[in-house]
Every structure is written in structure tokens, then in C-alpha cells.
Structure 1
Amino acid sequence: MSQSCLNCLKYTMCAVNLICWLCGASVLGFGIYLMMNSKFLSLIPTLSSLNIANFLVITGTIVTCISFLGFLGALKENRCLLISYFILLFILMLAELSIACVLLVYEQKIDRFFEKDLMNSLKLPRELQTRNQTNKDDWDTIQSLFKCCGVHNVSDWKNNVPASCCNTKPCKPHHYWPQ
């Protein structure tokens, strides 16, 4: 009876870790795909390496490695691998808790930082006109997709309001997206 319960637990842990491994590999693959076809990197120039693609690659790698360790430890019933697996899970939970606390404590500072950085990236297409086409294209895509204009509203663009801010074709003054 106890042997069958242990086998059930073993194969359940293998199945759960296999599913986690597949999810981690999918996240890793999607992150790599985004890195290859990435847009919107120019909107936050200060933190160009802090983007969703890099975050997904790192997260996918961590999940894939840890879940493989758990799968192999459960399948081989290796005590050392299982202890390593649970220690890594514990460290991962502590890291998540720490990051959540830091983000909660510094939420307003982070908001102000991103707002300032977005406003700085908005100045590039506004002041340089055609020199930074990637930045301009990224802003046009975001504004068309989300039906918005600038960081706060149309006044962020001053006198150089792009056509992507307009909600009518052809673009007429005062027919801009409200936010």
C-alpha cells in the first residue's frame, strides 16, 4: 500500500514538473521570438535592456532548469537532486517575495521614473523630426493600437502632433484621441 502511494507521488511530481518544463520552454521560445522581432525598445531609452523579451528569456530559462531538476530528481528518486530542487524553489519564492515588496514600496518612484523616461523618448521624434525613425514608428504604433496620444495627452507633442494621434482621416486639428 505504501509503495503504491510513493509511486503515485513520484509520477505526479514527474507529471507536474514535465508540464512546468514545457511551459518554461514555451516562455523561453516566445522570449527568443520577441527578441528577434522586437519593437518598442526605443520607448524607454534608459533601460533598453529591461524589456519583456529579456524578462521572458530569463524567466523561461529559470523555470526550465528548475523543473527539469525536479523531474529528474523525482524520476530517479535521487535525494540530492530533490533537495537541490526544493532549495532552489525556496530561493525562488524568497526572490519573488523580495521583488514584490521592493516594487510595492517604490511604486511611485518607479511610476515617475517611467513617466519621465517616456517623456524623454517622446522628445526625440518631436524635436528631431526624421533622425530617429524607429522611435517615431514605435510611438505611432502604440498610439494607433491603444487609441491614445502621448504620455498624458495631445499636449505632450506640443506643436508637432503626429497623424497617429488623430481619430479622423484626414487628420483635423482638435480631432485627437482624448488621452
Structure 2
Amino acid sequence: MNRSCVNCLKTMMILLNFLCWLCGAFVVAFGEFQMMHSRYASLVTSFWPIYPANTLVVTGTIVTCVCYLGVLGGLRENRCMLITFFILLFILMLVELAMACVFLVYSREIGTFVEKDLMRSLETYKESSPDGNQTIRDDFDAVQYLFRCCGVHSEADWEGNVPISCCAEDPCNSVPHTNWREGCHVKLGNWFARNFLSTGAGVVSLFIIQFMCMCFTVPLFCHFRRRGLGYK
């Protein structure tokens, strides 16, 4: 392999890894943004370990670290870095593929989890004092206000003790007032499903870029090994 081909492979690998690093950094930032602005974590806890925001932060952090190793290995023509990068990237791709499958499975069953957790949160809200379980109370009020819904299935779930966040009027200063008729189960379930599908699609896109990085790493590593380069 002549030097021009090697330089071309190095350039492509470095550019792809840099692009992958940028994607990982964006994923971390987007996950942090979701964590700061999400008001539903205390209400839906069944799939908290694979909550979209958590998954984005963890995956993005690992991707940025691994891709940085790939950029350094290409720039320094270091075989040790390249083989380490290749192994870590291969493991990461397997994990991402498994995650994408999990997201697809959960997106089909998400309605069941959301309904069960919302009913539990609603009962906690009804049974708590005005100063008790403040996080659940605030989050449930936020969901009803933002999604323009009331209760889990309808306002009947509140059994007559309907919170002000269900009010459909603005400003809500009349008694009795009109409440949102639709329950939060369907709306919040659709919101989670969209987030799971978009997260799964992002993971698949990142998987494709990483696969291309691996394709450029193999010939570079073989060239450096034949030339006896790469351990300095």
C-alpha cells in the first residue's frame, strides 16, 4: 500500500471518528437537556434503567471516549491504540445493537407500563397531604397542564377531588370549571414511544458511522503491522 493510500485511509478514519465524537458529544448534551427539563421521571419508573435521557448520556459519554482513542491512534499511527479502539468499538456496537432491539420491544409495550405507573402515582397523589410527596404532585400537575389531560383515563379517576392542573380554561378562575376530558395515559404513552423510537433510530445511525470507522481501522492496522510501526 503506497503512502498516498495510507494518508487517505488515515484522513477518512480521523474524519469519521471526529464526526462520531461530535455525535457522541451532541448525544450527551441532548440527554442532559432531557434530564433537566423532563418532569415525568417520578411518575413512570418501570423502565427507568433504559430511560431515554439516561441512555443518551451514558452512550454518548462512552462513544466520545472511544472515538477520541481512535482519532489519537490514527494521528500517531499507533497500533496499540488502534487495536484497543477496534475492540472497544466492536463491544460498544454490540451493546448499541442490543439497546436498539430493547427500545423497539419497549415501544410496543410501553402503554402497559405507563398506565400501571400513572395509576400508582395518581393513588399516591390522592392519598398524600398537601405537603407530602411533593415531587409526584408537582410532576403529575405538570403532565396534566402540559399535555392538556386529566387523570389516567379521564377526570373520573380523581373521584371528585380534581386538581386545578386539570382545568381547561385560561385563566382558571370560575367555579365549577371545565376540565380536560382526555386522560394522560394515551398522551404520555405516545410521548414516551416517540422518544424511545427516536433514541433507537439515533443509536442505529451511530452504529452505521462506527461500522465505517471499523472498516477503515482494519487496513490501517494491517499496514502498520507490516511496516513494524505503531508501538511508540
TM range (shorter): 0.7 to 0.9
Matched, 1:170 2:169: no
Matched, 1:64 2:64: yes
CA–CA distance in structure 1, aligned partners of residues 103 and 67 of structure 2: 26
Partner letter of residue 98 of structure 1?
Answer: A
The aligned counterpart of 1:96 is 96
The aligned counterpart of 1:146 is 147
1:102-131 CA distance string (max 9 Å, x none): 455566665423421221112121221411
The aligned counterpart of 2:116 is 116
The aligned counterpart of 1:135 is 136
> By how many angstroms is 1:24 displaced?
2.1
**Cα contact 1:45–1:121 (8 A) shared by 2:** no
> By how many angstroms is 1:135 displaced?
1.2
Tell which deviates more after alignment, 95-104 or 8-17: 95-104
TM-score (norm 1): 0.78
The aligned counterpart of 2:18 is 18
Structure 1 pair 59/12, CA: closer, same or farther in 2 (3 Å)? same
Task: State the superposition RMSD in angstroms.
Answer: 3.0
Matches within 5 A, 1:46-61: 51-61=51-61
Identity of aligned residues (%): 53
CA–CA distance in structure 2, aligned partners of residues 94 and 49 of structure 1: 18
Partner letter of residue 155 of structure 1?
Answer: A
Partner letter of residue 173 of structure 2?
Answer: P
CA–CA distance in structure 2, aligned partners of residues 93 and 5 of structure 1: 27
SS in structure 2 of the partner of residue 142 of structure 1: helix
1:35-87 CA distance string (max 9 Å, x none): 56764332135666664443333122111111112111211222232222222
- The answer for unaligned runs of 5 or more in structure 2 is 184-232
> By how many angstroms is 1:10 displaced?
0.8
CA–CA distance in structure 1, aligned partners of residues 137 and 57 of structure 2: 27
CA–CA distance in structure 1, aligned partners of residues 96 and 49 of structure 2: 20
SS in structure 1 of the partner of residue 142 of structure 2: helix
The aligned counterpart of 1:86 is 86
CA–CA distance in structure 2, aligned partners of residues 34 and 43 of structure 1: 15
Pick 1 or 2: higher relative contact order, CA cutoff 8 A, min separation 6: 2
> By how many angstroms is 1:20 displaced?
2.2
Partner letter of residue 176 of structure 1?
Answer: W
Tell which deviates more after alignment, 29-38 or 107-116: 29-38
**Cα contact 2:148–2:180 (8 A) shared by 1:** no
Tell which deviates more after alignment, 30-39 or 163-172: 30-39
**Cα contact 1:27–1:56 (8 A) shared by 2:** yes
